[in-house]
């Protein structure tokens, strides 16, 4: 097949391959599109934890975004971890120049284990500078709590937080329900005119490393192909759900999901 569209990913590198730019490239590719990248940080990590993080300088982040995109224009952009205010500024400058409208921002602030990954001033910058510039924001529950200064324990709380963020200027919010204590999984899409709840099966597994990165990249890919917002979210969630279901069980800690679940290898390559 030929790529259906082109997607630029702005995110950090995860050496273990389960999250970050590696998960993003696998997702975009497995869903049939062409992936480009701007790396914001290089991490050394495995399924048990992060050993080190080396930030890429803001000017290099900007250069990757601008020089790549002025040559091959992306149909959509996925933005992942932005660890400092200077990187946020560089990304803001970069996306302003590209003029691609379909931007999905995964405001990575809190890791699966609960660790806060960025400082308070960077959180404020994401809220004040980027939130109203993107098409879709995909916070998990702890991130939605930080952005709204509220506690989220129920579906009602998720909807309230989403409405608050819409009032704050966000166009579309998908609050992910992976952190909610519930029997099923609920991801909720909220904008000015609608609330849509996506209910799915919850798997009892520790192997969910990279679900958030994968979901935002899948949605960005679907949008880049011209699918509408609801369809893009629904298909993206389905892709992540199936990838978790495979339960690869790689590594001794929180293992990766199966990005290849959408692919059938042609006979001649077997």
Ligand X SMILES: Nc1ncnc2c1ncn2[C@@H]1O[C@H](COP(=O)(O)OP(=O)(O)OP(=O)(O)O)[C@@H](O)[C@H]1O
Catalytic residue ranges: 176, 208, 210-213
- Of 148, 158, 142, give the one whose Cα is nearest residue 109: 142
241 binds, among Mg ion, ligand X, none (CB under 5 to 8 A by kind): ligand X
Q: In terms of CB distance, is 140 or 224 closer to Mg ion?
A: 140
- Of 22, 27, 17, give the one whose Cα is nearest residue 7: 27
Q: In terms of CB distance, is 86 or 112 closer to Mg ion?
A: 112
Of 67-75, 91-99, 153-161, 200-208, which segment contacts ligand X by CB under 6 A? 200-208
Q: Which residue has the tokens 């937080």?
A: 161
212 near Mg ion (CB under 5 A): yes
Q: In terms of CB distance, is 84 or 205 closer to ligand X?
A: 205
Report helix angle 58-71 to 85-98, nearest 10: 10
Binding mask 82-101 for ligand X (x = CB under 6 A): --------------------
Among 12, 58, 80, 210, binds ligand X (CB under 6 A): 210
Q: In terms of CB distance, is 98 or 155 closer to ligand X?
A: 155
- Spatial contact of 227 and 180, defined as CB atoms under 8 Å apart: no
User: Residue 87 and residue 126: Cα distance in Å, rounded?
Assistant: 11
User: Residue 55 and residue 108: Cα distance in Å, rounded?
Assistant: 15
20 near Mg ion (CB under 5 A): no
Among 212, 223, 255, 258, binds ligand X (CB under 6 A): 212
**H/E run at residue 78:** strand 76-79
> CB burial class (10 A; 0-12, 13-18, 19+) of residue 202?
middle
112 binds, among ligand X, Mg ion, none (CB under 5 to 8 A by kind): ligand X
- 134-163 binders of ligand X (CB under 6 A): 140
CA angle centred on 125, ends 146 and 56, rounded to 5°: 105
- Contact residues toward ligand X (CB under 6 A) are 19, 112, 140, 176-179, 185, 187, 200, 202-203, 208, 210-213, 215, 237, 240-241, 244
- Contact residues toward Mg ion (CB under 5 A) are 140, 212
């Amino acid at each position: 097949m030929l790529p259906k569209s082109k997607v630029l990913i702005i995110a950090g590198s995860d050496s273990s391959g389960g999250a970050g730019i590696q998960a993003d490239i696998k997702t975009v590719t497995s869903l049939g599109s062409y992936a480009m990248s701007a790396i914001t940080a290089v991490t050394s990590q495995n399924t048990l934890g992060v050993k080190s993080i080396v930030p890429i300088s803001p000017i290099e982040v900007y250069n990757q975004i601008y020089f790549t995109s002025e040559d091959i224009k992306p149909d959509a952009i996925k933005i992942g971890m932005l660890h400092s205010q200077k990187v946020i500024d560089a990304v803001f400058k970069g996306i302003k120049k590209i003029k691609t409208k379909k931007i999905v921002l995964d405001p990575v602030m809190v890791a699966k284990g609960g660790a806060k990954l960025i400082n308070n001033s960077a959180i404020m910058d994401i809220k004040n500078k980027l939130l109203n510039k993107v098409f879709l924001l995909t916070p998990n529950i702890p991130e939605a709590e930080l952005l709204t200064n509220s506690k989220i324990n129920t579906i009602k709380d998720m909807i309230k937080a989403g409405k608050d963020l819409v009032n704050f200027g966000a166009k579309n919010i998908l609050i992910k329900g992976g952190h909610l204590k519930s029997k099923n999984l609920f991801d909720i899409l909220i904008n000015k005119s609608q609330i849509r709840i996506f209910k799915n099966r919850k798997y009892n597994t520790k192997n969910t490393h990279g679900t958030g990165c994968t979901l935002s990249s899948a949605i960005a890919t679907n949008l880049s192909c011209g699918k509408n917002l609801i369809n893009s979210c629904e298909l993206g969630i389905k892709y992540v759900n199936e990838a978790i279901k495979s339960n690869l069980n790689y590594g001794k800690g929180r293992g990766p999901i199966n990005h290849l679940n959408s692919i059938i290898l042609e006979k001649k390559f077997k």
